[in-house]
Chain A
């Protein structure tokens, strides 16, 4: 009967007129979505395509006509593609090792923990550590090899840093896919006489292809949107779109130019968004074939290869950990590379001069966390459980700000809320709204995922036992979506602590953020203070992540997400 129930839809109009509570919530949600997602993007588009009150492509043509800006566009695409390829390969290697190399629980945990670090760190950490390692006074280039003319700036470093920062996203995507492949399918191929390599080539890899495609698109989008790494590592010879748009606005005060540049970023982002949503998501193979039988040891990998895979993974993890140790070291010495005298000076500065930024960030993160968590659960519940006109459009629109590069969202907010009717530039509100409607989307996705896993019969069972719809909602539905709420809260908080690409356009004299202070300290070459700030953020985020993981562990139902699975993407 499941086929039938899927198509059993009540008239979407009548459900709105019959249920005033639903009607009210749909109207309220749409009001916010239009105001904080559609309106800013519309203003951005208008600014891009308008000149003297007319529609024109002239703005785009003139910007892309500039050799330098065209180069930025090409560079962005090139960088995204390379990061996509390298990150997906590295992620696959990690995922394959974790799932198929017979690792003990301890090793798997170690991989998971090391890999999550880049995801919960402020965006500059890898970039700063790169400078410390390979820069003019770098520990490796200068300190070990004595090189003085090694150029750390450019494509190679940006690619390396972004790969290290973003490959965990690929790892998580692919780990889920690989562990979903029934090992019996591989065993079957062996029993038909295939060699290990042949099984990998003809069974494992083809089954993982949709996952690989998905990982590539996620990484491409992440690299395209990344603002912090290229700002520090790309250098002037390798301009990319997000940094160019930023410099256009903050350096040249050219809002229109920034808007047009960010629009050119919008096109590839949209392509990726729709490819991912409507193409890759349909390509997933279902390998569930009846009851999965008993499984002996997985034989897909030769012991030698197992060790080799593990060694590579450990090497990469060591590199990541080395970056963090370096960062910490730089935060407790006077001047890294020049004067290695121990000092708390940088931390002292962070807690005096930088205290405002910390306070502001925490206030914004806390308010945003609560608002974003509830926003996510509400929209997720409406989209997954209710039938009403505009439901699917609502789902797509609610994902927009999350899917688009932060630079676009930031510039769009700057344009939209700088003048009447809604003038909130310079307030904390604009930053909070930006976070809520950007990162609240994670809560929406988690809520939808959880609600889809809850069989309708669970609610029917409650009705059958005499509970009305309000009582069922209170006793069954709310407790079941609580994990989604915690996830939503957590992600909004963590992202509020670490994000910069959108909000760098929205800070003001009154409200500033830690990440922006890190950037300032970087440009003022106070690297020790920047490192100290970064360490503080990493610590706060780490503690919060653990707290939320503990909360999530308390839920015993299927579909309760793991913290590590929600930070990707």
Chain B
């Protein structure tokens, strides 16, 4: 199954809806994106952030109020959905309830008026590919949710679409199946090399599956980057908080005038490179530190400041702590509990931070 990989350009699209109660709502606000040929790009964000609307505009199910969509260099903005040659996998799968699995998958080929011999071959190939051989004559209500999901996927790829679009395809599956299926989707996408846009609100899923992730909030793009980039160098507070867990610590610029290399947190002075500290000494800032970069020391002398363990959660491969530092609660994660001692509630600990892990936004 060979599909020529194409790029998708989303140029400054905006879309507003009229809502009965809330009036005019801007669902997508001037979104500009480029998806490279063969790439899997995820639109990630909380519900109502405009990710699904963006995807539906790419598919042609919605028309943008302004902006253009290009697929493989062609401007498809005015093209109807049925002319764009896309494969769309819906959140609820949208299988045709009155058609058998075979006929569901064959649907797009029948529309293309492909000879029935070729249809039979193509459908059985793709059913084999998604592991549903022998299910031809079953009906959608006779198979499990995970199987329905795979039928939806088979139906989308059998027409050899130029792009593949997923709208939260795993949200109706249970946790284990979700992890398994996302791996399958990724493998399939890589082997077929179809340019893919994937919508989800699950950050872990996004990180596991994507080449790049677009974090969206309130109709706008917050940041585009790989999972690592988003995790280690979030460019906005929203991204820092949405991707993974993060502590927000009260920090003060300085001391030391306009040197912009110092930060004071709980009385300890950290040195590093934070352009944002280029302000009057003593002005407060928010410093962001991920829990796994908060190091707890049994010997309080080794810490930059001290705290008291408030909560301990043992999770097997890691231990999560909540530490009380002068009334503020800080989350810390310690991996490899075998090597390290597990602290108990009430225990006094030293807390160590490293400048390179402190982000100021």
Interface hits, A446-483 → B, CB 8 Å: 455, 457-458, 460-468, 471, 475-476, 479-480
CA–CA, A401 and B210, complex, Å? 59
Docked-complex contact A467 and B111, CB < 8 angstroms:
yes
Docked-complex contact A555 and B80, CB < 8 angstroms:
no
CA–CA, A463 and B79, complex, Å? 12
Docked-complex contact A457 and B20, CB < 8 angstroms:
no
Shortest beta-carbon distance from A487 to chain B in Å: 16
Q: Is A54 an interface residue (CB 8 A)?
A: no
Q: Is A281 an interface residue (CB 8 A)?
A: no
CA–CA, A464 and B86, complex, Å? 6
Shortest beta-carbon distance from B103 to chain A in Å: 10
Q: A4-B19, A7-B17, A457-B90 are in contact. Are A464 and B97 (CB under 8 A)?
A: no
Output the nearest chain A residue to B100 by Cβ-Cβ distance.
A556
Output the nearest chain A residue to B48 by Cβ-Cβ distance.
A1
Q: Is B347 an interface residue (CB 8 A)?
A: no
Docked-complex contact B90 and A480, CB < 8 angstroms:
no
Q: Is B354 an interface residue (CB 8 A)?
A: no
Docked-complex contact A557 and B97, CB < 8 angstroms:
yes
Interface hits, A72-105 → B, CB 8 Å: none
Docked-complex contact A558 and B141, CB < 8 angstroms:
yes
Shortest beta-carbon distance from A352 to chain B in Å: 47
CA–CA, A449 and B54, complex, Å? 31
Shortest beta-carbon distance from B59 to chain A in Å: 6
Give the residues in chain A near B139, CB-CB below 8 Å. Answer: 556
Q: Is B61 an interface residue (CB 8 A)?
A: yes
Q: Which of A455, A460, A471 counts the most B-chain CB atoms under 10 A from its CB?
A: A460
Q: Is A393 an interface residue (CB 8 A)?
A: no
CA–CA, A232 and B96, complex, Å? 51
Q: Is A3 an interface residue (CB 8 A)?
A: yes
Docked-complex contact A466 and B18, CB < 8 angstroms:
no
Q: A7-B20, A471-B111 are in contact. Are A464 and B92 (CB under 8 A)?
A: no
Q: Is A8 an interface residue (CB 8 A)?
A: yes
Q: Which single member of A1, A8, A466 contacts B85 (CB below 8 Å)?
A: A466
Docked-complex contact B97 and A462, CB < 8 angstroms:
no
Give the residues in chain A near B18, CB-CB below 8 Å. Answer: 7-8
Docked-complex contact B88 and A461, CB < 8 angstroms:
yes
Q: A3-B19, A8-B18, A455-B92 are in contact. Are A555 and B98 (CB under 8 A)?
A: yes
Output the nearest chain B residue to A555 by Cβ-Cβ distance.
B98
Interface hits, A1-35 → B, CB 8 Å: 1, 3-4, 6-8
Give the residues in chain B near A457, CB-CB below 8 Å. Answer: 90-92, 94
Give the residues in chain B near A463, CB-CB below 8 Å. Answer: 60-61, 80-82
CA–CA, A7 and B22, complex, Å? 11
Docked-complex contact A466 and B98, CB < 8 angstroms:
no
CA–CA, A18 and B336, complex, Å? 67
Shortest beta-carbon distance from B44 to chain A in Å: 16
CA–CA, A466 and B141, complex, Å? 24
Give the residues in chain A near B83, CB-CB below 8 Å. Answer: 466
CA–CA, A480 and B19, complex, Å? 30
Give the residues in chain B near A3, CB-CB below 8 Å. Answer: 19
Docked-complex contact A460 and B94, CB < 8 angstroms:
yes
Docked-complex contact B17 and A466, CB < 8 angstroms:
no
Q: Is B102 an interface residue (CB 8 A)?
A: no
CA–CA, A475 and B139, complex, Å? 16
Q: Which single member of A460, A555, A556 contacts B90 (CB below 8 Å)?
A: A460
Q: A466-B112, A475-B107 are in contact. Are A1 and B52 (CB under 8 A)?
A: yes
Q: Is B216 an interface residue (CB 8 A)?
A: no
Q: Which single member of B52, B82, B91, B95 contacts A464 (CB below 8 Å)?
A: B82
Docked-complex contact B96 and A458, CB < 8 angstroms:
yes
Docked-complex contact B98 and A556, CB < 8 angstroms:
yes
Shortest beta-carbon distance from A341 to chain B in Å: 56
Q: Which single member of A468, A479, A555, A558 contacts B82 (CB below 8 Å)?
A: A468
Q: Mark B132-143, 1 if CB is under 8 A from A, else 0.
A: 000000010100
CA–CA, A267 and B110, complex, Å? 55
Give the residues in chain A near B111, CB-CB below 8 Å. Answer: 465-467, 471, 475
Docked-complex contact B107 and A462, CB < 8 angstroms:
yes
Docked-complex contact A556 and B141, CB < 8 angstroms:
yes
CA–CA, A468 and B107, complex, Å? 13
Q: Is B53 an interface residue (CB 8 A)?
A: yes
Docked-complex contact A455 and B94, CB < 8 angstroms:
yes
Docked-complex contact A557 and B159, CB < 8 angstroms:
no
Interface hits, B37-79 → A, CB 8 Å: 52-53, 59-61
Docked-complex contact B82 and A467, CB < 8 angstroms:
yes
Give the residues in chain A near B97, CB-CB below 8 Å. Answer: 458, 480, 556-558
Known: A467-B107, A557-B141. 9 other contacts (CB 8 A): A7-B18, A7-B19, A455-B92, A458-B95, A458-B96, A458-B97, A464-B87, A466-B108, A468-B80
Task: Please report A residues at the B interface, Cβ cutoff 8 Å.
Answer: 1, 3-4, 6-8, 455, 457-458, 460-468, 471, 475-476, 479-480, 555-558
Task: Please report B residues at the A interface, Cβ cutoff 8 Å.
Answer: 17-20, 25, 27, 52-53, 59-61, 80-83, 85-88, 90-92, 94-98, 107-108, 110-112, 139, 141, 155-156, 159
